Amino acid sequence: MTSLAETPIAADSVGLLEGIASTRAIRRYLDEPLPPEALRDILFAATRAPSGSNRQPFRFVVLEDSPKAREAKALIGQSARKFWELKRANDQYDKGSGADPNSPKSRMARTMQHYVDSFDTAPCLILPCLVRYREPTPSEGASVYPAVQNLLLAARGLGYGGVITGFHGPVENELKALLGIPEDVFITCTLTLGKPAGKHGPVRRRPMTELVFGDTWEEAPAWAVDPPGTRHTSAGPPKSVKVI
């Protein structure tokens, strides 16, 4: 068998710009582990990300199927189920349009329920961490999140998908003890990864005119026009803008 050190990075199946526009949060996975070569390529992409002064404070704890990995998944899974139970009730996911099983709201609730219920068996769990070299600052995450997005984009390019969550928060201390993560290391997020059970589709965002401005706030330049076929969402606070 050829060693991975002699194996070039895989040819990806999607162009970079198309990949960016279709890297959605993937919360349903086939029951298949990620092969080592895919993990190598995905984590290689993550570790090639930029960071302030090229300090590379990011570290990735990759949990597959070892006993410790299963324990970590179970810990975070438990926290995810508690979080979702509260959110489902507080945000009234089962009321209003949520009562209609075909509404986007109730589809989202089903997806989230399935996600948290099967968290413990997610094919791969990654904890992107930040090694602190100074007192925490509000912008410290900025040296980790480009790497996290590289990771998701590389996964997309190879036919995998994932989602970022904050479900590790309530069990951070237990995770650190289990995985030998030093006290001063910040676990920035939780990321599950696997082969999507469904298809990747286009991301839905607000139109560019609401998000890109010229020399005056909320005035979009004439070129800030979404390409044909762009899918939109009204998620987020409403905006009104003028096009100049």
Ligand X SMILES: Cc1cc2nc3c(=O)[nH]c(=O)nc-3n(C[C@H](O)[C@H](O)[C@H](O)COP(=O)(O)O)c2cc1C
Q: For residue 231, give the 3-state DSSP assignment.
A: strand
Nearer Cβ to ligand X, position 24 or 195?
24
CA distance 124 to 34: 7
Q: How far is CA 158 from the centre of its chain?
A: 15
Nearer to ligand X, 57 or 196 (CB): 196
User: Binding string to ligand X for residues 21 to 60, with x set by CB under 6 A, is what?
Assistant: ---xx-----------------------------------
Residues 125, 126, 129, 164: which binds ligand X (CB under 6 A)? Answer: 164
CA distance 143 to 133: 12
Shortest separation between residue 152's beta carbon and ligand X, angstroms: 9
Asked if 77 and 116 touch (Cβ cutoff 8 Å), the reply is yes
Q: Report yes or no: 143 and 55 within 8 Å, Cβ to Cβ.
A: yes
HSE, CB side, 13 Å, CA atoms: give it for residue 32: 14
For the chain, helix, strand, coil in percent to 5 are 40, 15, 45
Q: Which is nearer to ligand X, 143 or 165 (CB)?
A: 165
Q: CA 230, CA 207: separation in Å to the nearest integer?
A: 8
- Residue 20 binds ligand X, judged by CB under 6 A: no
Q: SS3 for 95? A: coil
CB of 95 to ligand X, least distance (A): 20
Separation between Cα atoms, residue 63 and residue 218, nearest integer Å:
43
From residue 185 to residue 224, the character string flagging contacts with ligand X as x (rule: CB under 6 A) and all else as - is ------------------x---------------------
Among 10, 163, 208, 212, binds ligand X (CB under 6 A): 163
Contacting residue, 79, 150, 165, 209, with ligand X by CB under 6 A = 165
Q: How many chain residues touch ligand X (CB under 6 A)?
A: 7
Q: How far is the CB of 25 from ligand X (least distance, A)?
A: 4
Q: Which residues bind ligand X (CB under 6 A)?
A: 24-25, 163-166, 203
